[in-house]
Amino acid sequence: MNSKFRAILKRIREYDEIVIARHIGPDPDAIASQIALRDAIRLRFPSKKVYAVGNPVAKYKYYGTLDKVDETKLNDPLLFVLDCPNISRIDCANIELYTEVIKIDHHPFEDKMGDIEWVDEKSTSVAEMITEFLIATRFRANKAIAKNLFMGVVSDSDRFLFSTTTPKTFELMAILIKNSKLDITEAYDNLYLRPLNEVKFQSYIAEHFSVTSNGFASLKIDKKIIQKYGVDAGTASNLVNNFNNIEEIYAWALVSYDEKQKLYKVNIRSRGPIINEVAAKYNGGGHPKSSGARIQKLADVNKLLKDLDAVCKEYKKNKK
């Protein structure tokens, strides 16, 4: 067992009150990882109080329920922060209130949060990292835990399509499926079943994308369209992965306006050019080929789109 795993296991043994948090606006990897880790710790150490915290998301309720906890009333607690590189984006947990903090993440490093920082940018997902940890440290995974971990990996690797997918990813998934007799079809149904209006909205996006001669596609989605298709504001962000593997498009971005936060949300994907460095210039970040930004002014959104077109141009030129 490596020293990192030993150190994390030691903390889990030592602390009786453990909180597991993740980023705001969770995706399946974030929410599945925190619930799986919570349930695995509870299964092995039934006397410990373990909570998975954060604002619940209705459409992800099949991962399990989240816990509400008054942090100020905890006694000598340990905090896990999953899938979240920056302190400002932690949902419902204040790192100041914890005796120790352990971060497990696969985004490029941003803020130091605590005593143990396990960051692996090469991993498909935090769910894969948690899977590796649980197997190496001999935790048991029941069917629900295994299913959550599997869905986290599948979702963040886009069903094993992304280049972060390695032989290790498959080896870990094989152990999970075998040991827990996981029904993968059921897991896929949870992830991929979707309403017709969402499919129609996806067609609208494909129909209205503006594609440059450099292979950059973008679309600004206004409120009226969201209302017309009866989807919610977050749907555009979720659909962005569905535009991969299109011959004429190297990188693509969907822009939507978040009324609550008064910000433009830009979701960017790429099948070649490195885009997170561009997003970083506009208060954004993420992975080299999967990234995003939150921007106040429309003028800056337009500048970002221009810069993305420029990296596509460069990429296309070098490819020849």
Residue with nearest beta carbon to Mn ion: 29
Q: Which is nearer to Mn ion, 84 or 312 (CB)?
A: 84
Q: Which is nearer to Mn ion, 151 or 251 (CB)?
A: 151
Instruction: Give the other-Cβ count within 10 Å of 73's Cβ.
Output: 9
* Strand positions, DSSP E, the chain: 17-22, 49-52, 78-82, 100-105, 116-119, 210-211, 216-221, 251-258, 263-270, 284-287, 290-295
25 SS3 class: coil
Binding segment for Mn ion among 88-96, 153-161, 162-170, 235-243 (CB under 5 A)?
Answer: 153-161
Q: Which is nearer to Mn ion, 57 or 225 (CB)?
A: 57
- 210 DSSP assignment: E
4 SS3 class: helix
**Binding mask 155-184 vs Mn ion (x if CB under 5 A, - otherwise)?**
-x----------------------------
* Shortest Å distance, C-beta 220 to Mn ion: 26
Size of the residue set binding Mn ion (CB under 5 A): 4
* Shortest Å distance, C-beta 82 to Mn ion: 8
To the nearest 10°, report the CA torsion of 174, 164, 146, 240: -130
Which amino acid makes up residue 234? G
Question: Which residues inside 274-293 make contact with Mn ion, applying CB under 5 A?
Answer: none
Binding segment for Mn ion among 53-61, 122-130, 174-182, 263-271 (CB under 5 A)?
Answer: 122-130
Name beta bridge partners: 269: 252, 290
User: Which of 17, 83, 128, 309 is close enough to bind Mn ion by CB under 5 A?
Assistant: 83
User: Which of 29, 128, 132, 309 is close enough to bind Mn ion by CB under 5 A?
Assistant: 29
Give dist(CA 304, CA 72) in Å, integer.
41
Sites of contact with Mn ion (CB under 5 A):
29, 83, 125, 156
